[in-house]
Amino acid sequence: MRTELDARQKSKPGPKPKPLAERANNFRMPVKRAIKTRSREEKLAVLRYWRHGLIPDEKKGVGFERQVTLREVAFRYKVS
């Protein structure tokens, strides 16, 4: 078994792989996400706005309101 692996590695074309200590570190930076802890009252305010919030409806004209969408709630309260 050992001789088959050695034979396969010797037949590979190209330069030998460098040791880890000599390799260039081209790692991606980790994604930094801001995690905000919200109080119970803030969480309830978000849910209340989502359930009962109304905004002016541009399609129907002046005096008409519609419920907010989840995307609008996320934009207002910076929730992802």
DSSP states along 42-53: HHHHHHHHHHH-
Contact 47, 20 (CB under 8 A): no
Please report the pLDDT score of residue 43 as a whole number: 93
Domain borders along the chain are: 37-80
List beta partners, residue 31: none
Which amino acid does the sequence have at 44? L
Contact 53, 65 (CB under 8 A): no
State the DSSP H helix or E strand holding residue 66, giving kind and residue range, or none if neither: strand 65-67
Per-residue pLDDT of the chain (80 residues; tens, 9 = 90+): 566 666 556 667 888 888 888 887 777 888 887 778 899 999 999 999 999 999 999 888 888 999 999 999 999 988 86
Please report the pLDDT score of residue 6 as a whole number: 62
Q: Is the pTM of this model over 0.85?
A: no
